């Protein structure tokens, strides 16, 4: 049985907008099978419309490999279960060996790996084979999570993949829109500045506080690779900056307990300045995940015990 999706953990995922590069005219093909609006393939170059589609309807992404029979069998199972949802979900398949950018961005360690996109953010679902009844339960939880985050559209099986029924969305406040646009183009410094201005205007703006924490996280990870971050931390276990980077990386991939545990285990070994830095980073991570998440409550209790 796979672990259930944490409904309040959605904010802990990373916005994938920074992966979308402006398409080049010669190498930005439409996803294979794009004439099928429910089940289609995507790749590193054609990811942008899939990301945008996830703002309307949850997208189940299946990473598979031709040499892995379990992964190809799982794709067939997923396709049938997604079609049974009558347009409430779509399935985008990714051939892992041909798409290293998506594999790295989705933190896939093996095939098959299944991740959802909801509102432009990844939600880890499961790795390896799963029985159909378990996957159906996961899809139920996914739809609940999507509804909580306003992603409630459907796709007409007879329409093109770019023609889902879109829900009416409330416009973002101007500074929030400015920050969102900055994140979309990978300018995390500008996003942070916009959120700080919003907080200065209204210190009770909880969404701006959480947005600032996430923009700061994305900015710290920008330009760094998974291998570089983990390699530096393994080679220098006493380097606080390296350990903070790994915690950021874990949080970005949805490994929330790992991120919190690493920093809390490190905390007692540090001097006063180091403890202050770790405490500040943990508070920021709490905002990214969501202060009502039970994992945040547990980490807060442990931090309090370490402080006093």
pTM for the model stands at 0.50
Pairwise CA distance, residues 58 & 179, whole Å:
23
**Inter-CA distances, 242 with 85, 219, 262, 263, Å:** 44, 15, 12, 11
Residue 9, pLDDT > 70, answer no
Q: Which residues pair with 202 in a beta bridge?
A: none
Q: Could you tell me which of 279, 298, 299, 296 has the C-alpha nearest to residue 287?
A: 296
Domain ranges of the chain: 7-148, 174-307
Q: Hey, do 7-148 and 174-307 end up sharing a CATH topology, with the first three levels equal?
A: no
Q: Which pair of structure tokens corresponds to residue 139?
A: 């899809």
Q: What pLDDT is attached to residue 63? A: 94
CATH number of 7-148: 3.40.30.10
CATH topology of domain 174-307: 1.25.40
- Sequence-separated (6 or more) residues with CB below 8 Å from residue 67: none
pLDDT, tens only, 64-93: 988 888 899 999 999 999 999 999 999 999
Question: CA-based Rg of the chain, rounded to a whole angstrom?
Answer: 20
Count CA atoms closer than 13 A to 236's CA, side-chain side: 11
pLDDT, tens only, 215-260: 999 899 988 888 899 999 999 888 999 999 999 988 887 788 999 9
pLDDT, tens only, 101-160: 888 888 888 889 999 999 888 999 998 889 999 999 999 999 988 888 889 999 987 654
- Sequence-separated (6 or more) residues with CB below 8 Å from residue 79: 39, 91
Pairwise CA distance, residues 45 & 61, whole Å:
15
Q: What pLDDT is attached to residue 170? A: 63
Residue where the block lists tokens 């909580």: 148
Q: What pLDDT is attached to residue 7? A: 36
Residue 264, pLDDT > 90, answer yes
């Amino acid at each position: 049985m796979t672990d259930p999706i944490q409904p309040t953990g959605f904010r802990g995922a990373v916005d994938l907008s920074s992966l979308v590069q402006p398409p080049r005219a010669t190498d930005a093909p439409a996803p294979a099978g794009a004439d099928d609006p429910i089940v289609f393939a995507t790749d590193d170059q054609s990811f942008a419309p899939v990301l945008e589609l996830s703002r309307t309807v949850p997208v189940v992404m299946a990473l598979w490999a031709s040499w892995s029979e379990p992964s190809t069998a799982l794709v067939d199972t997923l396709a049938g279960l997604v079609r049974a949802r009558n347009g409430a979900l779509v399935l985008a398949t990714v051939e892992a060996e041909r798409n290293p950018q998506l594999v790295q961005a989705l933190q896939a360690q093996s095939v098959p790996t299944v991740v959802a996109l909801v509102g432009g953010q990844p939600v880890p679902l499961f790795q390896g084979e799963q029985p159909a009844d378990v996957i159906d339960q996961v899809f139920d939880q996914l739809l609940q999570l999507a509804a909580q985050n306003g992603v409630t559209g459907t796709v007409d099986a007879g329409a093109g993949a770019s023609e889902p029924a879109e829900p009416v969305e409330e416009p973002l406040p101007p500074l929030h829109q400015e920050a969102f646009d900055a994140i979309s183009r990978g300018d995390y410094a500008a996003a942070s500045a916009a959120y700080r201005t919003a907080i200065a205007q209204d210190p009770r703006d909880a969404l701006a506080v959480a947005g600032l924490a996430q923009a700061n996280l994305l900015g710290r990870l920008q330009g760094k690779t998974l291998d570089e971050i983990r390699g530096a931390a393994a080679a220098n276990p006493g380097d606080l900056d390296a350990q903070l980077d790994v915690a950021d990386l874990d949080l970005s991939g949805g490994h929330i307990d790992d991120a919190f545990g690493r920093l809390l285990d490190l905390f007692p070994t540090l001097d006063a300045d180091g403890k202050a830095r770790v405490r500040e980073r943990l508070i920021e991570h709490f905002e990214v995940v969501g202060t009502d998440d039970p994992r945040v409550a547990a980490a807060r209790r442990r931090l309090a015990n370490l402080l006093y």
